[in-house]
Amino acid sequence: MPRNLLGLSPLRPFSRALLAGLLGALAAQVGSRVSAQPGTGFVERSRGAVARAGGFSERAGGFTLARLKYTGGGDWYSDETSLWNLLRTLRARGEIRVGQEKEAVVTAADPELWNYPMLFLTGHGNVKLSEEETRSLRRYLDQGGFLWADDNFGMDKSFRELMRRVYPESPLVELPFTHPLFHYPNAFPSGAPKIHEHDGGPARVYAILRNGRVAVLYTFDCDIGNGIEDEGIHDDPPAKREAAMRFAVNVATYAVTN
């Protein structure tokens, strides 16, 4: 696994994603409706591994991520301090150059989607996207984007249904513990840590693979997002909170380097 992370070497094709915003503005001017579009540096994965010069430095100065807002009644906004804490931890580690101070929020049809190589989705209830959002999310994922969905207890059924709409030909599969995501930069030889009991089953990690790359990561019966919230919100012991953050760092590192 390479150690020269974002900002130190060309990585994945997300540069010049600001073009997406320009396309959105153009659509508004002509009065026509245009779905979110990739920037010129956002190259389809089916073409093979394609390097991009400068990463996000042209726009934001480093790695960025966003929370994915959805409809359906689920609380997409839950785990309110999780992403801020993850960004702060990544910045403190120093291996990933972080390009934002605050959490960003996007919808799947938002042109700003293409400015964020990693999306985070969580909640307790129903997860729903429109047809336009579903098509846009698939395109984003196929062209190098990464979605981490963390079940906050209660969204499993609707999220699985959504993924069948996004990728009817690519089911969620359980990741083996030998997968690199469990081993770099932190070792989890027995899989993801279990922070909250939920249904009492073991922590499970599922994925949708596209050309060998994890495009969608789904942590189930783990509650990693709760584990990386501010201390005291859930009264989790320090060891669990540390394990949750270490695993979240693995997820972000995988999103940057693959």
CATH of the domain at 162: 3.40.50.12140
pLDDT given at position 37? 53
Tell me the two tokens of residue 41: 């540096």
Strand 118-123 to strand 146-151: parallel, antiparallel, or no bridges (unpaired)? parallel
Q: Looking up tokens 């101070």, which residue turns up?
A: 101
pLDDT given at position 58? 31
pLDDT given at position 13? 45
Sign of CA dihedral 197, 200, 202, 204: negative
Low-confidence spans in the chain with pLDDT less than 70 = 1-61, 198
CA angle, corner 15, sides to 13 and 16, nearest 5?
A: 135
pLDDT given at position 232? 73
In a domain, 74, yes or no: yes
In a domain, 172, yes or no: yes
pLDDT given at position 38? 52
Give CA–CA dist 241/224, Å, rounded. Answer: 9
In a domain, 148, yes or no: yes
In a domain, 34, yes or no: no
pLDDT given at position 17? 41
pLDDT given at position 195? 87
Q: Which one-letter amino acid corresponds to residue 82?
A: S
In a domain, 209, yes or no: yes
In a domain, 55, yes or no: no
175 DSSP 8-state letter: P
The domain of 152 spans 63-257
| Number of independent structural domains in the chain | 1
In a domain, 37, yes or no: no
> What is the pTM (predicted TM-score) of this model?
0.78
